[in-house]
Chains A and B, each alone.
Chain A
Amino acid sequence: MQYGPEVMNNIANPRNSGVMEDADGVGQVGNPECDDVTTVYIKVKDDIISDISFQTLGCGAAIASGSMITQMAKGMNINDAMNIEREDVAGRLGGLPEKKLHCSNMAADALKAAIEDYKKKSA
């Protein structure tokens, strides 16, 4: 199986990876059975995602997807960021093997969960 250059670039240099202790919103999704997990942390200022990071226990595609979604969402309005679709992540990575799509879905879902968490906390 092979990953494209954009995927490999994000695996070699994952952007925004690591825990964020003082996050305003945290979203964790995964499959508890095989313990794939992706977590997205956000800081929000005036409805704008001012800082973002991710962690994952997953394959290369999961790492690349976490790295990609954090780059996509940074600086975005939270309501716009809610509209980032699962397919957008794989698309921006230049495509993923069919069997690896669930890995990028985790990243998109974790971002949505983080925004919802923020909204709930700030409501």
Chain B
Amino acid sequence: MAVYFDNSATTQVDPDVLEAMLPYFTEKYGNASSLHSFGSEAFAAIVKARKHVADLLNASPREVIFTSGGTESDNLAIQGAAFHNKGEKNRIITSVIEHPAVLNTCHFLEKCGFDVVYLPVDEEGFVSEEDLKEAVNSNTSLVTIMAASNEIGTIQPIESLAEIAKDAGALFHTDAVQAVGKMPMDLKNSHVDMISISGHKIHGPKGTGALLIKEGVKIRPLMYGGGHEWGMRPSTENVPGIVGLGKACEICMSKMTEDIQQMTDMRDFIIDTTLDSIDGVYLNGPRENRLCNNANFRFDYIDGESLILYLDMEGIAASTGSACSTGSTEPSHVLRSLGLTPIQCRGSLRLSLSRFNVMSEAEYFASVIPSVVEKVRAMSPLGDKKNAIRS
């Protein structure tokens, strides 16, 4: 059995998405800026895709800027807001739980002289409204808080955080790369000003994404060139990629309700059976307000990498947020921010689902995980000293 439970890393391209894209590599290869029929064919395809993206996020097509992915969208939003307001407003507020696409952009801004505040999170990964209220001031140009965590699935109270930002006169951006398609997102009826999305997390092609910028919001572009994307993102459009992203959004929109139900059922089954069938296992992240496709555990006495390798041998692809701190990977900053020690972080396992997963795969996982854990633990010299080294 081959089970892919690493959909937060990337997803399989939906066959319908691929089919929609292919003609734009072969016969419909025009440049959307050209006046001839090849050009207008490409232009029409982009218009249609833009509408699908906008519909999924309840935005208007004019608010959609196509980019090369989640990372670029985050950079455009954050650097764009920071540099547009530079001199007048120099504070940026984010959280410690963000993806590196946001965190490292903020680190760069610090080097540029901006004042960046990193809000802490509680033991389930939530940012507190009180902390944000304390941090925002009239010098704040942007608050950027992710909609949902790629590692532990925590869904932030984006709406109330955005309202706090608005009251202080700051823009609010959210990295919704993991949230989109797994929970409703609505730009229009919200205080959120900008939303980042990525194609490859929703069964679209890699290297595609969008930044939604609410009408009237002004930011500075990252690049200068032609007038594409209203000058916000110059470069000849990636027509096949944009068509693929549009199709992926269209499918997400039409299937979202049933997708969410299906993934929630599988997630709950995985969480319940794993916690019940194995000793010394804990859930990372919250039980409520959790992404419907995310389960993240930590196992006493296990190195996450070994767990992944042995699961892979059983045909299950998953990921870990950590390895030993002297090893290749620092323990995940997200798990550390929950207050976990490096030792506690090391045996972490993330399972992330998609609409292409089925319950029998979750059942297969449940049948395999106890013996895999037992096998790895039997190899550990600390097996009889569990309680001595663990909290």
Contacts and interface: CB of A to CB of B under 8 A. Distances in A.
B378 interface: yes
A38 B305 CA distance: 16
Contacts of B302: 57
A49 interface: no
B389 interface: yes
B324 A63 contact: no
Most buried by B among A14, A28, A103: A103
Q: Is the interface of A mostly helix, strand, loop or mixed?
A: mixed
Interface string A16-31: 0111000000001001
A99 B326 CA distance: 9
Contact of B326 (A60, A97, A102): A102
B1 interface: no
Given A34-B346, A35-B389, A57-B380, A11 B327 contact: no
B303 A59 contact: yes
Nearest to A60: B309
Contacts of B310: 11
Nearest to B345: A34
Nearest to A11: B309
B215 to A, nearest CB: 44
Nearest to B327: A59
B306 A34 contact: no
Given A18-B378, A59-B303, A102-B326, 20 more contacts: A1-B328, A11-B309, A12-B313, A28-B381, A31-B326, A34-B346, A35-B343, A35-B346, A36-B303, A37-B380, A55-B379, A55-B383, A57-B301, A57-B303, A59-B306, A59-B324, A60-B306, A63-B306, A63-B379, A99-B328
Interface of B: 301-303, 305-306, 309-310, 313, 323-328, 331, 342-343, 346, 378-383, 389
